[in-house]
Amino acid sequence: MKNAVAIDLGSANTVIYQVGGGVVLSEPSVVAFDVGSKKKVKAVGKEAKNLIGKTADGTEIVFPVVEGQIVDEKAAGAMVENFLNKISTNKFGLRPQVLLSIPCGLDNAEIKQYERAFNSAGVYGIDFVESPILSALGSDAPITTSTPCFIIDIGGGSTNIAAVSLDGVIAGVNIGIGGNSIDATIIKCVEREYGLKIGSLTAEKLKISIGSLYENEVNYAQINGRDIAGGKPRSVTVPSGKIYSPIKHVLDKIFEVADMVMSKLPAEVSAEIRSNGVYLAGGTAKIPGVAEYFSRTMAIRANLAEYPDLANAIGGSKVAANHSLLKKVRIHA
């Protein structure tokens, strides 16, 4: 049996899709190391994320991927190796053939870095495909060699905005704004409004539980933090309206860049995109009302992927399962 997987090595989350088997892993892209004489892996994924802010000096928490790109090759290799070991087929010693999503426009040296990290994780072989093509395929966009589509993948550390066809990326940018920027803005907002200091995990939970771009929606969430003046722990109940503007602020910036990319497209491409609408993917696109908000402000239909946070890996699995498609879209290192 062939062991083929598609991997989306995101700055926030790693998703592994087993061809023929579905999503077999979705965990935070985090490693915790024991900083002894030999740097040993203490925890990866969910377990490592739970250690954030709670560890003593002996533990180092590493996010090996930042803004969609590997910044720590060794940590990335260790993380991927641990993730692959969690997947059952790997336990029979069947090393996987990996289809990996990479940011657009990497040079050869940067691609080699991915190759080294994955080889150290013990993969059989690796193919590279540029991220927006996979997110488009995984969002069921009608993309072919002659039909371009416009994809906005709003992730944790970055947002990929691109017009793509199966021939490649027509125009695109990768900006360092995403869900993490919303969390950071929420932290500041809670500090200002309630005099309360909260951590990034709390800000993220608040965003996921009550964040919305439906201005009139009212939900509440209770959060714990530290009183800035007195230093004591304190909890407050936050209504969704309070975090509407941090969310809107970040998405407005993203949509402004999307508008700029769109305005520079060749006329034929632009006409095709206007008639099909844009496609939204990435975990941050799960905020309720994102597609409607986009359509309203940009006057273009927005199609939300069925599984926004998994779209990239789903697209990867479609390519990994189709040899002629793979030949068409893979990048040669």
Q: Binding partner of residue 101 among Mg ion, ligand ATP, none, CB under 5 to 8 Å per kind?
A: none
One residue of 28, 155, 172, 211 binding Mg ion per CB under 5 A: 155
**Closest CB 311 distance from ligand ATP, rounded Å:** 8
Q: What is the DSSP letter of 178?
A: S
- Which of 204, 272 has the CB closer to Mg ion? 204
Smallest distance, Å, CB 101 to Mg ion? 8
Q: Which is nearer to ligand ATP, 42 or 286 (CB)?
A: 286
Q: Pick the stretch among 23-31, 151-159, 291-299, 316-324 that binds Mg ion (CB under 5 A).
A: 151-159
Residue 178 near which of Mg ion, ligand ATP, none (CB within 5-8 Å, type-dependent): ligand ATP
Closest approach, Cβ 197 to Mg ion, in A, equals: 29
Q: Which is nearer to Mg ion, 77 or 155 (CB)?
A: 155
DSSP letter at 122?
A: T
Contacting range for Mg ion; rule: CB under 5 A; set: 6-14, 78-86, 104-112, 164-172? 6-14
Q: Pick the closest to residue 221 from 185, 179, 186, 180 (CA basis).
A: 186
**Which of residues 180 and 303 has its CB atom nearest to ligand ATP in the complex?**
180
Among 4, 6, 7, 10, binds Mg ion (CB under 5 A): 10
Q: Is the CB of residue 310 less than 8 Å from the CB of residue 15? A: yes
In whole angstroms, give the CA distance from residue 264 to residue 253: 17
Minimal CB distance residue for Mg ion: 155
Q: Which C-beta is closer to Mg ion: that of 60 or that of 140?
A: 140
Tokens 């739970």 belong to 50
User: With respect to ligand ATP, which residue has the nearer C-beta, 39 or 253?
Assistant: 253
Nearer to ligand ATP, 8 or 130 (CB): 8
Q: How far is the CB of 143 from ligand ATP (least distance, A)?
A: 19
Sheet holding 233-239, edge to edge: 196-197, 220-227, 233-239
Quickly count: other Cβ atoms within 10 Å of residue 76's Cβ.
Answer: 26
Q: Are 16 and 313 in contact (CB under 8 A)?
A: yes
Which of ligand ATP, Mg ion, none lies near 81, with the C-beta cut-off 5 to 8 A by kind?
none
CB neighbour burial string for 295-328, b if at least 16 within 10 angstroms, e if fewer: eeeeebebbbbebbbbbbbbbbbbbbbeeebeee
For residue 130, the partner it binds in Mg ion, ligand ATP, none, with Cβ less than 5 to 8 A by kind, is none
Please identify, using beta-carbon distances, which residue of 81 and 183 lies nearer to ligand ATP.
183
| Nearest one of 79, 99, 81, 91 to 18, comparing CA atoms | 99
172 binds Mg ion per the rule CB under 5 A: no
89 binds, among Mg ion, ligand ATP, none (CB under 5 to 8 A by kind): none
> For the chain, how many residues are written?
333
Residue 316 binds which entry of ligand ATP, Mg ion, none, CB below 5-8 Å type-dependent: none
Listed residue (289, 254, 259, 253) closest to 273, CA to CA: 259
> What is d(CA 164, CA 162) in angstroms, rounded to the nearest whole number?
6
* Cα 85 from Cα 320, distance rounded (Å): 20
Binding site for ligand ATP (CB under 6 A): 8, 10-13, 68, 155-158, 178-180, 204, 207-208, 211, 282-284, 286-287, 309
For the bound state, the minimum distance from the C-beta of residue 33 to ligand ATP, rounded and expressed in Å, comes to 20
Residue 281, beta-bridge partner list: 153
Complete DSSP assignment for 253-292: HHHHHHHHHHHTS-HHHHHHHHHH-EEEESGGGGSTTHHH
Applying CB under 5 A, which residues contact Mg ion?
Answer: 10, 155
